[in-house]
């Protein structure tokens, strides 16, 4: 299996951001900010952490994107990992397309659960972790949003995971601090967030969600508990005029904005 340097991971992340930009440009779709905030997390998961055999996906590690409105980032990662041809990305969120805006398990390989209703993907991933714990062992990962943790199903699952000591279950919380209607902690204050998860019996690690070294170190922590990585991120990360802006939860770039964003990322990388 190929090993990736930090510099190589940065190159992958830049490719993913370019895919996401192009996909949201031509589909005129929402949630580009939500997709851009999780790029480094997905890059580390798929290019370093997860054990994946494209010829034996049944027995590979599994990932569920519970905040499924950020699907453009996941599709881009899967295409870069050769789960399906990159040409499929041109069929994102369009009439007669292949890749729906929210995730459909039957659309392409690598989508483990049809997600969209917040909280459901986390619960499905929990069920997978329970099943794998009692059969052929593999690790289950899920990524949730900070706004998504307003859902009661998240906390019901959190209780069960710690009760069952599911040390094959890792959640990553995309803590970009903006949800659909404003600042996350203005909508419902979640602090002290890390302590809440600890009280629920989880191993808790806080990191800069755009720092590859910190992410790698967090994923490598061994524990007898379920683990949550609280990743402090920036909505719209990587594009200066999108960063930490609520409107990019909904907007799609026009051609001028796309050109400016591509210029920021560097056209030749």
pLDDT in tens, 41-63: 999 999 999 999 999 998 999 99
- Residue 148 inside a domain? The answer is yes
Structural domain includes residue 125 = yes
1 lies in some domain: no
pLDDT of residue 133: 86
Q: How many domains does the chain have?
A: 1
Tell me the pTM. Answer: 0.96
Assess if residue 184 is contained within a domain: yes
Whether 175 is covered by a domain: the verdict is yes
DSSP 266: -
Alpha-helical (H) ranges within the chain are: 6-27, 32-36, 39-44, 71-80, 120-133, 152-163, 184-187, 193-199, 212-219, 255-265
Question: What pLDDT, in 10s, does the model give residues 203-233?
Answer: 999 999 999 999 999 999 999 999 999 999 9
- Pairwise CA distance, residues 244 & 77, whole Å: 23
- 41 falls within a domain: yes
Identify whether 189 is part of a domain: yes
pLDDT of residue 136: 72
The answer, yes or no, to whether residue 1 has pLDDT greater than 70, is no
Residue 236: domain span: 6-265
Q: Is 31 contained in some domain?
A: yes
DSSP 92: B
Tell me: the pLDDT tens digits for 101-160? 999 999 999 999 999 999 999 999 999 999 998 877 799 999 999 999 999 999 999 999
| 3-state secondary structure string across 189-250 | CCCCHHHHHHHCCCEEEEEECCCHHHHHHHHCCCCCCCEEEEEECCCCCCCCCCCCCHHHHC
CATH number for 218: 3.40.50.970
- pLDDT one-digit tens code per residue, 146-184: 999 999 999 999 999 999 999 999 999 999 999 999 999
Sign of the alpha-carbon dihedral angle for 20, 26, 31, 32: positive
């Amino acid at each position: 299996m190929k090993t990736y340097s930090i510099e190589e991971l940065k190159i992958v992340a830049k490719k993913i951001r370019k895919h996401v930009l192009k996909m949201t440009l031509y589909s005129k779709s929402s949630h580009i900010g939500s997709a851009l905030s999780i790029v480094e997390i997905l890059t580390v998961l798929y290019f370093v952490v997860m054990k994946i055999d494209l010829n034996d996906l049944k027995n590979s590690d599994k990932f569920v994107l519970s905040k499924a409105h950020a699907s453009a980032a996941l599709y881009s990662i899967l295409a870069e990992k050769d789960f399906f041809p990159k040409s499929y990305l041109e069929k994102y969120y369009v009439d007669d397309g292949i890749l729906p805006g929210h995730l459909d398990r039957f659309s392409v390989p690598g989508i483990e659960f049809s997600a969209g209703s917040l909280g459901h993907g986390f619960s499905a991933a929990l069920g997978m972790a329970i099943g794998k714990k009692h059969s052929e062992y593999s690790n289950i990962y899920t990524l949730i949003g900070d706004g998504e943790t307003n859902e009661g199903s998240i906390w019901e699952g959190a209780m069960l995971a710690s009760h069952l000591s599911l040390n094959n279950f890792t959640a990553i919380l995309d803590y970009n601090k903006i949800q659909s209607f404003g600042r996350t902690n203005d909508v419902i204050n979640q602090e002290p967030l890390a302590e809440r998860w600890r009280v629920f019996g989880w191993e808790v690690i806080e990191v800069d969600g755009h720092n590859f070294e910190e992410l790698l170190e967090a994923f490598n922590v061994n524990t007898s508990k379920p683990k949550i990585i609280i990743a402090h991120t920036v909505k719209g990360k990587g594009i200066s005029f999108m960063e930490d802006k609520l409107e990019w939860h909904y907007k799609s770039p026009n051609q001028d904005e796309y050109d400016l964003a591509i210029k920021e990322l560097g056209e030749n990388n």
